[in-house]
Amino acid sequence: MPPVLRIRTIAAADVDTVIALWNRCNLTRSWNDPGTDILRARSGPNSAILVGENAGVIVASVMVGQDGHRGWIYYLAVDPGHQKNGFGVQMVRAAEEWLKAQGMDKLLLMVRPENEAAQGFYRSAGYEEEPRIIFAKWLNGSP
């Protein structure tokens, strides 16, 4: 049985730790400021950031939100030194429960095509690929 995480909502004191975790997991991009993303996620009732602690140390996180129609997860991260312990699945299940409590029936997520490890992880966690075309427009100029 894998070690169990203590999962809770992010606190203000955790922000720098979570950003460092996201950086170690190569989740940040130059066009997305992680501090702003965290602030936005924490600012309303339709989103949250969950953190997972092992032995009192944050080793995992996930951003979860809903748009009134579907639930979404972003920034699923498990510290590289703590991967392969079941922590990623525990975080996904916590996000699923959060979305169920919000009344969402379906969860969606995006994975970059070159990220085969993430694709394999989500398949093993019970997710299926749904063919979609994603359109995007930068509202504040290019990244």
Give residue 1's pLDDT band: very low, low, confident or very high (50, 70, 90): low
In order, the DSSP letters of 6-63 are EEEE--GGGHHHHHHHHHHTT--BTTB-HHHHHHHHHSSTTEEEEEEEETTEEEEEEE
The answer to whether position 143 is within a domain reads: no
On whether residue 80 sits in a domain, the answer given is yes
Query: Where in the sequence is the domain holding 22, given as residue range(s)?
Result: 6-124
Is 129 within a domain? no
Give me the numbers of helices (H) and strands (E) for the chain, helices first please: 4, 5
Residue 62: inside a domain: yes
Residues whose CB is less than 8 angstroms from the CB of residue 120 and which lie 6 or more positions away in sequence, other chains included: none
As for how many domains the chain has, the answer is 1
Mean per-residue pLDDT, 130-135 = 90
Q: How far apart are CA 83 and CA 142, in angstroms?
A: 34
pTM for this predicted structure: 0.92
* 139 belongs to a structural domain: no
Confidence band, pLDDT 50/70/90 cuts, at residue 2: low
45 pLDDT tier (thresholds 50, 70, 90) = very high
Here the CATH number for the domain that contains residue 28 is: 3.40.630.30
- 96-116 tens-digit pLDDT: 999 999 999 999 999 989 999
